[in-house]
């Protein structure tokens, strides 16, 4: 149970950004957008449904969330959507919603996505409830988080591996790329995911194109003529795709930690690792200020020093007192998650120092924070859904392309350049996926006629580099709020009154910051 809601949310975005960085690493726009009106005649039964808002105590999927969801200020409901939009009369999916009703007269809903793919919007609202309760936005808007297809309390669930498999290190792993080294392994992954998800249809309808159509049904069912939306990280993709698909249905869209719309999936992955390396370099410089720095006195040699520390774990994971082992894959996930916020860098240095001394517990805790793993062993970030969404979103690289990407990442981010991550022959984890992707590259195009949007971009963002925020604002013809800092995500996360005030003013009154406005964290 995390006592600090801001810290917990960082795990939701940073993990869904650390997921974002290692898996979010993809993107595209709807290959076949719905009609411009946003009102598909076959969807009448879905658009006319009424929500039954009740208490949330029975909707949590972990003990930690159950405690948060028991708060009587929260209400929960479920929205029916077609599993397959080509067969709206067929099987239904159910999208879980959690809302904090407006403190005053509600003028509409603010729909939220915290990132991923795989981040839970319902958990996000519950964990950041104290912040929303003092927000001027929540005075006039219902704050509504949703669990996209396959995530959290939404159904059907998408499962490739159990939490126990993740604990044991028996799930597919990722460093520079996923550790899929053959067509056989890719086929086994696809089959495992289809079997665990209740069939191929559930698995292949999870892509972002369908999530965007779900969002439009949510907008209508919530009673909003136009969408007011806040999306972090991967959530920026959903917001931009919605704007491109339903421009006349947009009231206000805030994209924080925006994914670059003009990069291919592989290019974006490479840019994210480049950003992560830059933050590790900063961490190494901070560490070197101490005479006993575990990474040594010379920041330029920190990559080699890190390799020395982790190399023994390549063959022999380190045991912990809790009975779980720490692998080299776990170490890099822990470090990556810790680099998402400058405030957590001392935790990374401390964990590396303890690991060097033979104590793996601190690094395992960082690894667990990356996954949003709770004390009862539940994983708050849905990495299986993450894989499913990305396999339906992005064109699939050939083994030659995937192998070349691993090498390029090793060059751009030498902290990752150890043989187990970059020296093999790699296949895409999506190589044997049972349906082709539903988006193209580039993933955002033909954006016309949308109202003013707001992109919030941190200059030292390790997962979605600032250049991507600039590109997103340009692509949408919207406003850019530049934030000086070294963190992934800023609004509500950075203790910045400048950022929060600017975003609040836009959400409430549709007034964007003056050109060239800068804030800091």
The confidence score (pLDDT) of residue 29 equals 30
For β-strands 142-147 and 109-113, DSSP reports them as: parallel
Structure token pair of residue 481: 């709020």
The confidence score (pLDDT) of residue 336 equals 97
What is 5-27+52-155+200-264+443-520's CATH topology?
Rossmann fold (3.40.50)
The confidence score (pLDDT) of residue 2 equals 30
CA atoms within 13 A on the CB side of 389: 32
The confidence score (pLDDT) of residue 25 equals 37
Question: Over pLDDT 70: what percentage of the chain?
Answer: 92
The confidence score (pLDDT) of residue 41 equals 55
Return the closest-CA partner of residue 186 out of 17, 490, 456, 402: 402
pTM above 0.85, yes or no: yes
Strands (E) across 19-174 are located at: 75-82, 92-100, 109-113, 142-147
Kindly give the parts of the chain with pLDDT less than 50: 1-39
Other Cβ atoms closer than 10 A to 311 = 13
> What's the per-residue H, E or C state across 121-159?
HHHHHHHCHHHHHCCCHHHHCEEEEEECCCCCCCECCCC
Is the backbone of residue 82 left (phi > 0), alpha (psi -120 to 50) or beta?
beta
- Residue 477's contacts (CB-CB under 8 Å, 6 or more residues apart) are 447, 450, 453
Q: Are 133 and 100 in contact (CB under 8 A)?
A: yes
Return the closest-CA partner of residue 160 out of 430, 384, 380: 384
Q: Are 458 and 519 in contact (CB under 8 A)?
A: no
DSSP state of 54: B
Give the separation between CA 277 and CA 286, rounded to whole angstroms: 14
DSSP state of 22: I
For the annotated catalytic residues, the residue numbers are 233, 461, 488
- CB-neighbour burial class of residue 52 (10 A; exposed 0-12, middle 13-18, buried 19+): exposed
Other Cβ atoms closer than 10 A to 65 = 24
**Distance of alpha carbon 430 from its chain centroid, rounded?**
19
The confidence score (pLDDT) of residue 156 equals 97
Please name the residue that has the structure tokens 């060239």. Answer: 516
């Amino acid at each position: 149970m995390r006592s600090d809601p801001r810290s917990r949310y960082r795990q939701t975005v940073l993990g869904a950004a650390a997921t974002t960085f290692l898996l979010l690493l993809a993107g595209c726009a709807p290959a076949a957008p719905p009609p411009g009106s946003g009102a598909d005649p076959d969807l009448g039964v879905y658009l006319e449904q009424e929500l039954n808002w009740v208490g949330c105590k029975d909707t949590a999927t972990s003990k930690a969330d159950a405690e948060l969801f028991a708060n009587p200020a929260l209400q929960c409901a479920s929205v029916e959507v077609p599993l397959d939009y080509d067969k709206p009369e067929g099987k239904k999916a159910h999208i879980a919603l959690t809302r904090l009703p407006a403190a005053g007269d509600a003028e509409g809903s603010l729909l939220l996505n915290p990132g991923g793919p795989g981040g839970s919007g319902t958990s996000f609202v519950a964990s950041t409830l104290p912040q929303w309760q003092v927000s001027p936005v929540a005075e006039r808007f219902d704050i509504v988080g949703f669990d996209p297809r396959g995530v959290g309390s939404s159904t059907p669930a998408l499962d490739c591996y159990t939490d126990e498999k993740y604990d044991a290190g028996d799930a597919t792993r990722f460093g520079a790329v996923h550790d899929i080294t053959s067509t056989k392994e890719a086929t086994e992954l696809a089959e495992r995911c289809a079997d665990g998800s209740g069939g191929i249809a559930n698995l292949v309808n999870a892509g972002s194109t369908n999530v965007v159509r779900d969002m439009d049904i949510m907008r209508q069912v919530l009673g909003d003529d136009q969408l007011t939306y806040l999306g972090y990280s991967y959530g920026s993709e959903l917001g931009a795709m919605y704007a491109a698909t339903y421009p006349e249905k947009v009231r206000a869209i805030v994209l924080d930690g925006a994914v670059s719309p003009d990069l291919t999936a592989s290019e974006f992955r490479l840019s994210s690792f480049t950003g992560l390396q830059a933050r590790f370099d900063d961490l190494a410089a901070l560490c070197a200020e101490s005479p006993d720095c575990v990474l040594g006195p010379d920041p330029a040699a920190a990559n080699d020093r890190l390799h020395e520390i982790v190399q023994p774990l390549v063959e022999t994971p380190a045991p912990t007192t809790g009975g779980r082992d720490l692998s080299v894959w776990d170490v890099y996930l822990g470090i990556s998650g810790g680099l998402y916020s400058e405030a957590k860098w001392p935790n990374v240095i401390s964990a590396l120092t303890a690991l060097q001394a033979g104590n793996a517990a601190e690094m395992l805790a960082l690894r667990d924070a990356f996954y949003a793993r709770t004390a009862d062993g539940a994983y708050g970030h849905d990495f299986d859904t993450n894989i499913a969404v990305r396999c339906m979103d992005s064109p699939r690289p050939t083994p030659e392309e995937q192998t070349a990407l691993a090498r390029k990442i090793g060059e751009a981010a030498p902290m990752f350049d150890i043989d187990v991550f970059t020296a093999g022959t790699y296949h895409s984890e999506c190589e044997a996926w049972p349906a082709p992707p539903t988006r193209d590259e580039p993933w955002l195009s033909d954006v016309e006629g949308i109202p003013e949007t707001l992109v919030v971009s941190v200059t030292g963002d390790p997962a979605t580099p600032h250049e991507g925020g600039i590109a997103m604002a340009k692509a949408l013809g919207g406003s850019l709020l530049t934030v000086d800092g070294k963190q992934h995500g800023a609004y509500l996360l950075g203790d910045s009154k400048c950022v929060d005030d600017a975003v609040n003013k836009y959400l409430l009154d549709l007034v964007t910051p003056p050109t060239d406005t800068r804030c800091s964290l």
